[in-house]
Amino acid sequence: LDGIPLDNSSTGGTGNPMNFLNPQDIESIDVLKDASATAIYGARGANGVILITTKKGKAGSSNLTLSSSVGISNIARPIPLFSADEFRKQVVALGGTLDDQKASTDWQKEISRTAITQDHNIAFSGGAEKLTFYGSVGVQNQEGVIKGSSLKRYTGRFNASQKFLEDRLSLDVNLTATQTVTNRPALDGVIGAALSANPTYPAYDANGEPARYQAFTNPLITLKLQKDITTINRVVASVSPSYKFNKDLVYKLNIGIDNASSNRDPQSLASAIPQQDGRLESTYNTNRNILVENYIT
């Protein structure tokens, strides 16, 4: 990212180390595949290298950009299951004992939702002959199609480039600061319970609350009792001075840091039906990489 190698470890277990980057800040993405192109990265470049370049200001123009979008998501292809009426027929046809609670529940529909994603960004850029700059702030709030799942991301970015000594000396500064908050319910247990639940059982009781049963655990109850919230703060920054001796000889020094910290908070809330003891945990992790390199081109 702008000359800073990123650590692929997913601090906090988010599964995607690129979650911190706002797509609105990306200017270009290049893929290096040849051995000669990836040789400078050593073993890390064995499977190729992806170069991400972010947007920068341009001399002679000032811009203020506002962007906002709203999207919706649904389950594309629910798994085909028996309806309540088909379930009743099949149980009887197979000689089973029908436990019929007179309802008609689509449990996949009950645990899912039409999810809304909101993305709002503001960016400013500009500069003169010797100085250019770019800054942005972004907020994304993405709901998952499973109830209770979500991703919230807050990003701030600033970079500047200054030239000195008749353009021989250049100084580039980059700073990205991000906070992501993810809420991941116990998807394995919820989805499995929804696929196997008796469709003749009602999802809610007379008070409009998720119904509680001794025969099985209502997956809506699991969604209320099990939570997994992870907050990750990440800062990627660099300072890169360079000096041009002549048109064919340039010395560059690159100093950068990639620092991430996370707090993961799994929660199991106490319950009588289904019987479950309450349990709260908190795990804190940090990951820091410092880069210092210099080269002549």
pTM beyond 0.75: the answer is yes
When pLDDT is cut at 50, 70 and 90, the band that residue 189 belongs to is: confident
Selection from 182, 186, 190, 187 nearest residue 142 by Cα? 182
**What per-residue confidence (pLDDT) applies to 10?**
55
Residue 230 makes CB contacts below 8 A (sequence gap 6+) with 12, 13, 14, 180, 181, 182, 184, 262, 263, 264, 265
The larger pLDDT score, comparing residue 120 to residue 41, is at 120
The string of pLDDT tens digits covering residues 20-31 is 889 999 999 988
pLDDT score, position 179: 94
Q: How far apart are CA 115 and CA 71, in angstroms?
A: 8
pLDDT for the residue numbered 87:
95
Q: Output the pLDDT for position 36.
A: 65
Q: What share of the chain in percent tops pLDDT 70? A: 93
d(CA 204, CA 216): 14
Mean pLDDT of 234-263: 91
Q: What percent of the chain has pLDDT over 90?
A: 55
C-alpha 147/C-alpha 107 separation (Å) is 12
Q: Give 147's contacts (C-beta < 8 A, 6+ positions apart).
A: 111, 112, 113, 185, 220, 223
What span, in angstroms and rounded, lies between the C-alpha atoms of 190 and 81? 16
